Chain A
Amino acid sequence: MATSPDGVVVGIEHLYKQYETAAGPVPVLKDVNLEIRRGEFVAIMGPSGSGKSTFMNILGCLDTPTRGRYVLDGHDTSALGSDDLARLRNRFIGFVFQGFNLLPRASLLENVALPLIYAGTPRRERSERARELLERVGLSRHVEHHPSQISGGQQQRVAIARALANRPSLLLADEPTGNLDTATSHEIMGLFTRLNAEAGITVVLVTHEHDVARFAQREVTFVDGIVTHDGPVRAVDEIAR
C-alpha cells in the first residue's frame, strides 16, 4: 500500500464544488486549500449549509470536486475511474455517518466484515478480524445481534468498527453524534479520541457542537464554503471576537 513519504494524508488545493440544480449551478465550496498530516485529529465546524458535508463527501471519495486537486495518501483522485475510487474508499477511508448506515438485515459481525468482503479477504480471516474490531469498540457480546436490537450509541460503535476494518489511512465522520444524547456522544467522542491517541489513526470529524470539538487538536471552520479558520480548537467565546 503506497503511502506518502511526507506524512500528508489529505492534500487539497484550490478545490471548488458546485451543484447543478434546475435553478442553475449552486457554488458550495470555493477555493478550499487544506493539508492534513498523519495522526491529526481535525474537527470541521461551521454553520448549517456551509458545505461541511459536501467537503466530507469529497474527502471520502463519495463525490468528486468540480475543480481542484485532492491527493489522498499519495493518490491523485481527480484522474481515477469508479473502480479505483471504490478501491480507495475500501482501503484508505473509513466513513462514519450521522445515521449509522448499517445494513439492517445483516448481523453486527456481517456488517463489520462487509468491507473485508470487497477487499477480497478470506472468509475465516474476515470473521476473526470483525470479532476483534467489535471487541475493540466494546461489543464483543453482541456479534450475532442485528442493528435494530441495539441502541443508537452501540450502532455507531459498530459503524466505527466497520470503518476500521481495512485499517484505513483516514477515518471520516460526518456529525457522528448528531443522533445521540449528550452522554452517549461523549462516549463516542472518547472512542474517536482513543483511536487517534492510541492507534495514531487520522480522524476528520464534522460537528457543530463545541464541547464535541474540544476532543480534537485542530479546528477547520467553514462559512459559506470558505475556510475561515484553520488552527487550534477555540473556545466558544473566542469565536465571537
Chain B
Amino acid sequence: MIGAILREAWKSMGANKLRTFLTMLGMVIGVGAVILMLAIGQGAQYVVKQAIASMGSNLFIVLSSFSTTSGVRSGTGQAPTLTINDARALLELNTVAEVAPMQPGSRQIVYGAANWNTQVYGVTPGYFTVREWAVVDGDPISETDVRNATRVAILGQTVLDRLFGDEPAVGKTIRLENIPFTVAGVLDRKGQSFDGRDQDDTVLIPLTTAQRKVFGSQFPNSVRMIMVQAVSESAMAQAEEDINRLLRERRRTPEGQEPDFTVRNLSAVADVQAQTTKVMSLLLGAVACVSLVVGGIGIMNIMLVSVTERTREIGIRMAIGARRRDILAQFLLEAIIVSVLGCVIGVALGVGGALLASRLTSIYTEVTAWSVLLSFAVATLIGVFFGFYPARKAAWLKPIEALRYQ
C-alpha cells in the first residue's frame, strides 16, 4: 500500500517537473545555505581552536611599555624597560613554571640567491617549553648558545620552504644582516595564530646573539617581552597577581601609579576569540535556518495550489474508495519527498560549496556529519509540517464536492 502510494506521489511529481523543481529549489537553497554556513562556522572554530592549542597553555605575556614619571610620558620612555633579570626573577615565583624573554625584529634572511623577510626572535631555551614547540630536525637553542651568543638559527617551516625548498637545511649557513648563521634546527609546523599570522614564518636565534649582534640595542640587557607560563590553569589568577607584585617591587613603582609594563593573560584573550567565533557560527546557522523555513513555506504554497488543481483527482480517488488517510498520506508523502530530495541536492551543493570555498579562498571550512544529519531531520520535519495543512485540506474534502469541482 505504502509502495503504491509512493509510486503515485513520485509520478504526480514527475508530471509537473518544473513546479516540482521550483518547490525543491527553496529546500535546495535552504539546506545548501545551512550546510555551507555551518561548515564555515565550524571551520572558523576549528582554526581558532588549533591556534589556541598551538599557542601554548596557561600563558601570560609581559610587555614593556613606556616608563612614566608622575603620569607624564617622558622622552626616555622609548627605552625597553624589561630585562633578562626580570625574567630570571619571575622564574623564582612558585606559581610560574617557565619564562621566555624575547627580543623580536623583522629582518632579511639570505641563503644563496634566495632571500626572505621574516620575523626574527631572540629567545632562550624556555621559549620552546612555553610555546610547546618541538624542533623536528636538528637541535633547539641551548643554554650554552645563549651564554656564548653563538650564531645559530632555528627556521620555521615557511622560511625553510622559501629559502631551501626541498633541500636539507641543517648545517647550512644563512646570512642575517650580513652575519653568517648556521642553521641548527627546523621547527615543527604550527599554522596560523589566532590573530591570523603565519607562525611558521619565523627564525629563532639565541637572545644574547640578537641583543648584541643583530638588533644592536643600546640597552644590552633589555627585552621587548617575556612570556610566562603558570604552573597550572588554576594558578593563573595567583600567577598574574604575583607577576604584577614582583615586577612593581623590582621597579619600586609606588602604589596607585601605572607601571611601565603590562601583563596580559593570553588564555583569556584566546577564550574571548573562541567565544566570538562560536557566536558568529551560531548566527550564520540561524540565518541559514531562516532560509530553510522560507523553503518550507514555498512547499506549503505549491502544495496548496496543487491540492486545488487536483481537487477532481481527489474526488475520483475518493469515489473509488480512497479513505481520508490515503489522500493525506499521498500529499504528505509528496511534500516529504520534495523536501528530502531537495535536502539531498542541497547537501551536495553545500558540501561542494564548502570545498570550493576552502579551495578558492583562505576560508577554512569543515562539513560535519551532524550538520548533514541535522539538515535531513529538519527537511523531513519541514516536509511534514508544511505539507500537513495542504494534505489535510485535500483529505477533508467531501467526495461529491471534489468530484463536482471543474
Question: Which residues does A use to contact B, with CB under 8 Å?
Answer: 57, 60, 62-63, 82-83, 86-87, 89-91, 95, 97, 101-103, 105-106, 114-115, 117-120, 123, 162, 165-166
Contacts and interface: CB of A to CB of B under 8 A. Distances in A.
A83 B320 contact: no
Interface stretch (B18-26, B126-134, B321-329): B321-329
A124 B103 CA distance: 85
Contact of B321 (A86, A97, A102, A123): A86
Interface stretch (B59-67, B310-318, B365-373): B310-318
9 contacts: A57-B400, A63-B398, A83-B323, A86-B323, A101-B312, A101-B315, A115-B321, A118-B322, A118-B326
Of listed B5, B11, B323, residue having the most chain A CB within 10 A: B323
A34 B325 CA distance: 33
B400 A118 contact: no
A94 B82 CA distance: 100
A117 B4 CA distance: 7
A114 B11 CA distance: 14
B6 to A, nearest CB: 11
Contacts of B324: 82-83, 86
Interface in B283-327: 312-313, 315-326
Closest 9 CB pairs of A and B: A90-B321, A118-B321, A86-B323, A63-B400, A115-B320, A62-B400, A117-B4, A62-B399, A105-B15
B217 interface: no
Interface of B: 1, 3-5, 11-12, 15, 312-313, 315-326, 398-400, 403
Contact of A105 (B5, B12, B318, B320): B12
A123 B400 contact: no
Contacts of A83: 323-325
A164 to B, nearest CB: 11
A117 B400 contact: no
A197 B1 CA distance: 34
A105 B11 contact: yes
B213 to A, nearest CB: 87
A202 to B, nearest CB: 18
A101 B323 contact: no
A118 B319 contact: no
A15 to B, nearest CB: 16
B320 A114 contact: yes
Contact of A123 (B4, B317, B320): B4
A80 B200 CA distance: 81
Contact of A162 (B312, B320, B398, B403): B320
Given A63-B400, A101-B403, A114-B317, A86 B4 contact: no
B323 A87 contact: yes
Nearest to B316: A101
B236 to A, nearest CB: 70
A86 B400 contact: no
A114 to B, nearest CB: 6
A90 B316 CA distance: 12
A103 B312 CA distance: 9
Given A86-B322, A89-B320, 13 more contacts: A60-B319, A62-B318, A62-B399, A83-B323, A95-B319, A97-B403, A101-B315, A101-B319, A103-B313, A106-B11, A117-B1, A118-B320, A165-B320
Contacts of B5: 117
B323 A118 contact: yes
A62 B1 contact: no
Contacts of B11: 105-106
Contacts of B1: 117, 120
Contacts of A95: 319-320
Contacts of B403: 62, 97, 101
The interface centre, meaning the residue of B4, B312, B325 with most chain A CB atoms within 10 A of its CB, is B4
A62 B15 CA distance: 28
A166 B399 CA distance: 19
Residue from the set B15, B318, B321, B326 with the largest chain A CB neighbour count within 10 Å: B321
Given A82-B323, A90-B321, A162-B320, A123 B3 contact: yes
Contacts of B320: 89-90, 95, 114-115, 118, 162, 165
Contacts of A120: 1
A166 B321 CA distance: 10
Contacts of A123: 3-4
Contacts of B4: 117, 123
B87 to A, nearest CB: 84
Nearest to A162: B320
B313 A86 contact: no
A90 B1 CA distance: 15
Contacts of B326: 118
B305 to A, nearest CB: 17
A118 B315 CA distance: 14
A197 B51 CA distance: 90
Interface centre among A60, A114, A165 (most CB of B within 10 A): A114
Contacts of B398: 63
A108 to B, nearest CB: 15
Contacts of A101: 312, 315-316, 319, 403
Nearest to A60: B319
B404 to A, nearest CB: 10
A106 B398 CA distance: 23
Contacts of A105: 11-12, 15
Nearest to A85: B399
Contacts of B323: 82-83, 86-87, 118
Contacts of A103: 313, 316
A86 B318 contact: yes
A82 B328 CA distance: 14
Contacts of B315: 101
A26 B274 CA distance: 75
A89 B319 contact: yes
A130 B393 CA distance: 31
Contacts of A86: 318, 321-324
